[in-house]
């Protein structure tokens, strides 16, 4: 293996690429793992089934049923993935509430177990208010609901969550990126497209009124094109949140599965970042009408990695994963997607970018295309394996054996 790595290193260096530097660079970029892949977005509150226009299909055995199980699963996942890790929590993963604390009353103490766990695993925590799977969201409307009482409830929830997120950041010494997504929309053609958006704008301004140190908390807002049951109209559309984030100088969350099927978020980053301070990525894989398939090493994933690396956006773009699959081993689903995210970053970091950039600048588009195609078959596999080995995580498909053993010893007994 060492030989193939040395040979690969030489081949890259002939193109002017320092593989060592590339590995060190990627090893410092945090990737936030979404807690909800482990339990089908169920959370720990009650028996409410998942709603809000998102759905998990499959019933593979071994779903985590409580915090202990989810944390144990996550420890295995973390050990399979190179790089700096964060964990992205939803408010519905609060603990020690005895079923008595509603979402508008949650406090940081309800996440103490997560904080302790994050410390132990040297991970940061990101956070999300949860605007679905709750009686107050049953009309499919939350912050844009015509009833002030319902809007107020959700404003209180979002405010409570921002306080919790800021505490995560402070207690862990790692910025908490907090993302707000609401499911609000209509199945069929609305009569009034304006009023819900006005109500949402007003509600968001109340949510974001309180100021926190950006060292502890960064706020993001996430748009969507449509959801199940909100096919005709989504209140928080792309234009809505692009406008909101630009005018309020906040982070814009771009979910790879939330746009038209041929529209890609990789092309949006250089535009958005001219006008908003930060982008949060929800790395996902849309297929036809579904937005949440396990992330594979697709052209789009590679393009996302390239945009981050080529423009030195690693401090401006926060990377989070967002998908859920219960039709395969859930831990494998996490590992596959997160390892692919890392691969896309490393692939981009060893790209002989200066050469193509030079070709482009001189108007030599022939060389630009020819070189980009040649780079696709450079010996990346050897670099990736070496990177995994140095990071102390399984090389190649070795990780799969560990997941299968865990399935036999732990998951199959749940
Ligand atoms: C839903 C959004 C949102 C959720 C998570 C659970 O369409 O993508 O980000 O997937 O918050
Ligand atoms: Zn998302």
3-class SS shares of the chain: helix, strand, coil, % to 5 = 50, 15, 40
User: What residues are neighbours of ligand 2 (ion), with CB under 5 Å?
Assistant: 255, 282, 322
CA–CA separation, 385 and 394 (whole Å): 9
- Kindly state the average pLDDT of the residues 191-219: 98
Contact 44, 92 (CB under 8 A): yes
Q: The whole model's pTM is what? A: 0.97
Closest by CA to 353, choosing from 317, 388, 308, is 308
Q: Is the CB of 39 under 6 A from ligand 1?
A: no
Q: What is the 3-state secondary structure (H, E, C) of 12-56?
A: HHHCCCCHHHHHHHHHCCCEEEEHHHCCCCCCCCCCCCCCCCCCC
Q: Two tokens at 330? A: 């859930």
Q: What is the mean pLDDT of the chain?
A: 97
CB-CB neighbours of 312 under 10 Å: 9
Which helix (H) or strand (E) segment holds residue 271: the answer is helix 269-275
CA of 135 relative to ligand 1 center, distance in Å: 18
Which atom belonging to ligand 1 lies closest to the Cα atom of 284?
Answer: 8
Q: Is the CB of 282 under 6 A from ligand 1?
A: yes
Which entry of 39, 255, 306, 386 is annotated as an active-site residue? 255
Quick one: pLDDT at residue 51? 93
| Active site annotation includes 222 | yes
CA of 51 relative to ligand 1 center, distance in Å: 11
| Active site annotation includes 139 | no
Quick one: pLDDT at residue 99? 87
pLDDT in tens, 284-304: 999 998 889 999 999 999 999
> Does the pLDDT value for residue 2 go beyond 90?
no
| Active site annotation includes 292 | yes
Quick one: pLDDT at residue 23? 98
> Does the pLDDT value for residue 1 go beyond 80?
no
**Ligand number, closest to the Cα atom of 180:** 1
CB-CB neighbours of 100 under 10 Å: 6
> Does the pLDDT value for residue 329 go beyond 80?
yes
Q: Two tokens at 56? A: 């998990």
Which entry of 178, 222, 306, 407 is annotated as an active-site residue? 222
Q: With cut-offs at 50, 70 and 90, classify the pLDDT of residue 40.
A: very high
CA–CA separation, 301 and 256 (whole Å): 9
What share of the chain in percent tops pLDDT 90?
97
CA–CA separation, 145 and 182 (whole Å): 11
- Kindly state the average pLDDT of the residues 268-278: 98
CA–CA–CA angle 105, 322, 62 (5° rounding): 85
Q: Is the CB of 222 under 6 A from ligand 1?
A: yes
Q: Is the CB of 181 under 6 A from ligand 1?
A: yes
> Does the pLDDT value for residue 276 go beyond 80?
yes
Quick one: pLDDT at residue 366? 98
| Active site annotation includes 385 | no
> Does the pLDDT value for residue 124 go beyond 80?
yes
CA of 40 relative to ligand 2 center, distance in Å: 14
Ligand 1 atom 5: the closest Cα is on which residue?
322
Q: Is the CB of 127 under 6 A from ligand 1?
A: no
| Active site annotation includes 255 | yes
CA–CA separation, 142 and 184 (whole Å): 6
> Does the pLDDT value for residue 12 go beyond 80?
yes
| Active site annotation includes 102 | no
pLDDT in tens, 57-91: 999 999 999 999 999 999 999 999 999 999 999 99
From 39, 137, 178, 222, mutation site for ligand 1 pocket: most ligand atoms within 8 A of C-beta? 222
Quick one: pLDDT at residue 47? 78
* Contacts of residue 385, Cβ cutoff 8 Å, sequence gap at least 6: 1, 4, 5, 395, 396
- Kindly state the average pLDDT of the residues 208-228: 98
Q: Is the CB of 224 under 6 A from ligand 1?
A: yes
Quick one: pLDDT at residue 408? 98
Which helix (H) or strand (E) segment holds residue 291: the answer is strand 290-293
With 0-12 / 13-18 / 19 or more C-beta atoms within 10 angstroms meaning exposed / middle / buried, residue 152 is: middle
* Contacts of residue 178, Cβ cutoff 8 Å, sequence gap at least 6: 126, 127, 128, 129, 161, 162, 165, 217, 218, 219, 220
pLDDT in tens, 130-162: 999 999 998 999 999 999 999 999 999 999 999
């Amino acid at each position: 293996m060492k030989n193939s790595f040395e040979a690969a290193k030489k081949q890259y260096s002939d193109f002017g690429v320092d593989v060592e530097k590339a590995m060190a660079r990627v090893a410092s970029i945090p990737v936030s793992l979404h807690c909800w892949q482990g339990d089908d977005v169920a959370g720990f509150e009650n028996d409410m089934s998942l709603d809000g226009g998102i759905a998990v299909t499959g019933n593979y055995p071994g779903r985590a049923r409580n915090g202990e199980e989810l944390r144990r699963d996550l420890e295995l996942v973390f050990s399979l993935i190179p790089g700096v890790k964060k964990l992205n929590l939803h408010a519905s993963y609060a603990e020690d509430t005895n079923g008595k604390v509603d979402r508008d009353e949650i406090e940081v103490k309800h996440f103490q177990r997560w904080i302790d766990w994050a410390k132990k695993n040297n991970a940061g925590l990101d956070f999300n208010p949860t605007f679905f799977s709750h009686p107050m969201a049953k009309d499919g409307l939350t912050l844009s609901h015509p009833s002030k009482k319902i809007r107020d409830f959700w404003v209180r929830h979002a405010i409570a969550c921002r306080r919790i997120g800021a505490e995560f950041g402070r207690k862990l010494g790692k910025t908490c990126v907090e993302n707000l997504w609401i499911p609000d929309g209509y199945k069929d053609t609305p009569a009034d497209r304006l009023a819900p958006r006005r109500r949402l704008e007003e509600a968001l301004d109340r949510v974001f009124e309180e100021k926190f140190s950006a060292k502890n908390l960064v706020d993001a807002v996430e748009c969507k094109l449509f959801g199940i049951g909100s096919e005709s109209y989504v209140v928080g559309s792309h234009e809505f949140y692009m406008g909101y984030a630009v005018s309020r100088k906040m982070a814009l969350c771009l979910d790879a599965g939330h746009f038209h099927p041929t529209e890609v978020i990789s092309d949006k980053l250089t535009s958005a970042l001219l006008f908003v301070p930060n982008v949060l990525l929800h790395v996902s894989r849309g297929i036809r009408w579904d937005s949440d398939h396990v992330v594979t090493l697709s052209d789009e994933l590679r393009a996302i990695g390239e945009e981050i690396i080529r423009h030195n956006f690693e401090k401006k773009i926060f990377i989070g994963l967002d998908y859920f699959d219960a039709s395969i081993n859930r831990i494998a689903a996490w590992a596959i997607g997160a390892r692919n995210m890392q691969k896309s970053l490393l692939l981009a970091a060893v790209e002989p970018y200066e050469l193509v950039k030079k070709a482009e600048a001189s108007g030599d588009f022939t060389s630009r295309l020819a070189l980009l195609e040649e780079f696709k078959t450079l010996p990346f596999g050897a670099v990736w394996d070496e990177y995994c080995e140095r990071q102390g995580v399984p090389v190649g498909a070795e990780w799969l054996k560990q997941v299968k053993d865990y399935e036999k010893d732990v998951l199959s007994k749940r």
